[in-house]
């Protein structure tokens, strides 16, 4: 399980979801199933959703016994459709829902998935391999202005204009097909000579790749749409927990929770987002940017 993905803020999530035996929970981002297993071990009954069939296949094997006892149900789908998926699987009223956003380590580590600039692979970045839009499609077909918008809005990238320009120039010569092709273009813009360290080079590649990934998977729109639907699935006293890794995800979550509170739908449990302990941060670098927010329905 840990090779596939190491769960972030596991103890904190379990404590704040107040998992109770025989109550129903939805894990909207199943991944390697670490959080789902935590809920199952505390006696909860879980519906695990993921749009990535490799994640579902992994958990189907790993937690076969829990599926056999019907404590765990798996569903392939986008959490944007959480209401439909929940009703189809008889999870129409639940005690808790978890979102652990972003990509799993498995997705990043597999070169063929095309998420990482560190490993050459096809420029893919789809969490759902059945979706028609890959990063290659966006990089080769989007207008320059749209690329600039993606890099600056989702990546807060200072040189968005120059990177988009370089992409448009390069793709006129030859289609941009691999993660290596893209990172070479990014590096050509910055130059990375002499004084610029490998650290900076990685940070810039990371920002641009992450921005593109957010666009390929429509991540922010899906999150906003899904959180509103999720509240409708909660029982009175039920809790919604969201772990985000990107400031825009965290801001969206915060806004949705504040609006819900204003409409007297419930209360925010985490006045400030919860972060990983220093110990967890040192053991799992992914946890460093994690922020957990929890809302309780009236």
Ligand X SMILES: C[S@@+](CC[C@H](N)C(=O)[O-])C[C@H]1O[C@@H](n2cnc3c(N)ncnc32)[C@H](O)[C@@H]1O
The reply on whether position 213 binds ligand X by CB under 6 A is no
Binding test (CB under 6 A) with ligand X, winner from 12, 23, 52, 250: 52
Smaller CB distance to ligand X: residue 234 or 242? 242
> Which has the closest alpha carbon to 230: 95, 102, 76, 127?
95
Nearest distance, CB of residue 33 and ligand X, angstroms: 6
Asked if residue 250 binds ligand X (CB under 6 A), the reply is: no
Q: What tokens appear for 251 in the block?
A: 């801001």
16, 17, 40, 55: which one binds ligand X (CB under 6 A): 55
Q: Is 34 in the site for ligand X (CB under 6 A)?
A: yes
CB of 54 to ligand X, least distance (A): 8
Nearer to ligand X, 47 or 186 (CB): 47
Angle at which helix 198-216 crosses helix 179-190, to 10 degrees, equals 130
To ligand X, the closest distance from the beta carbon of 288 in angstroms equals 14
Which residues, 6 or more positions from 79, have their beta carbon under 8 angstroms from its beta carbon? 28, 29, 49, 51, 85, 99, 222, 226
Q: What are phi and psi of 151, to 5 degrees?
A: -70, -35
Q: Which of 18, 134, 165, 222 binds ligand X (CB under 6 A)?
A: 222
Touching ligand X, residues 63-82 (CB under 6 A): 78-80
| Least CB distance to ligand X at residue 136 (A) | 19
Distance set, CA 257 to CA 86, 269, 298 (Å): 21, 10, 13
33 binds ligand X (CB under 6 A): yes
104 binding ligand X? (CB under 6 A): yes
Q: Which stretch binds ligand X (CB under 6 A): 17-25, 29-37, 175-183, 251-259?
A: 29-37
Q: How far is the CB of 89 from ligand X (least distance, A)?
A: 14
* 155 near ligand X, rule: CB under 6 A: no
Residue of closest CB approach to ligand X: 31
Residues in 105-134 at the binding interface with ligand X, rule: CB under 6 A? 127
Nearest to 97 by CA among 278, 288, 266: 266
102 near ligand X, rule: CB under 6 A: yes
Kindly state whether residue 31 participates in binding ligand X, applying the rule CB under 6 A.
yes
Closer residue to ligand X (CB): 103 or 234 = 103
- Would you say 124 and 136 are in contact if contact means Cβ atoms under 8 Å apart? yes
User: Within a 10 A sphere around the Cβ of 4, how many other Cβ atoms?
Assistant: 19
Binding site for ligand X (CB under 6 A): 5, 7, 29, 31-35, 49-52, 55, 78-80, 100, 102-104, 127, 222
């Amino acid at each position: 399980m840990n090779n596939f993905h190491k769960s972030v803020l596991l103890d904190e999530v379990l404590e704040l979801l107040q998992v109770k035996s025989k109550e129903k929970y939805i894990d909207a981002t199943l991944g390697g199933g670490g959080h789902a297993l935590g809920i199952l071990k505390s006696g909860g009954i879980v519906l695990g959703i993921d749009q990535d069939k490799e994640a579902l296949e992994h958990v189907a094997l790993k937690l076969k016994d829990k599926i056999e006892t019907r404590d765990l149900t798996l569903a392939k789908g986008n959490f944007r459709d959480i209401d439909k998926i929940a009703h189809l699987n008889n999870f129409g009223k639940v005690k808790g829902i978890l979102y652990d956003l972003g990509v799993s380590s498995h997705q990043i580590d597999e070169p063929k998935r095309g998420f990482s600039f560190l490993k050459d692979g096809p420029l893919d970045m789809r969490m759902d391999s059945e979706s028609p839009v890959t990063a290659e499609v966006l990089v080769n077909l989007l207008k320059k202005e749209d690329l600039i918008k993606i890099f600056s809005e989702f990546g807060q990238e200072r040189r968005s204009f120059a990177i988009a320009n370089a992409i448009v120039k390069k793709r006129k010569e030859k289609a941009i097909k691999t993660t290596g092709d893209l990172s070479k273009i990014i590096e050509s813009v910055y130059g990375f000579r002499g004084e610029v360290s490998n650290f900076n080079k990685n940070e810039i590649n990371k920002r641009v790749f992450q921005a593109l990934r957010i666009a390929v998977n429509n991540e922010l729109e899906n999150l906003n749409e899904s959180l509103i639907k999720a509240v409708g699935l909660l029982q009175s006293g039920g809790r919604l927990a969201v772990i985000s890794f990107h400031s825009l995800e965290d801001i969206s979550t915060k806004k949705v929770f504040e609006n819900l509170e204003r409409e007297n739908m419930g209360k925010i449990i985490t006045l400030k987002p919860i972060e990983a302990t220093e110990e967890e941060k040192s053991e799992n670098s992914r946890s460093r940017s994690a922020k957990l927010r929890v809302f309780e329905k009236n």
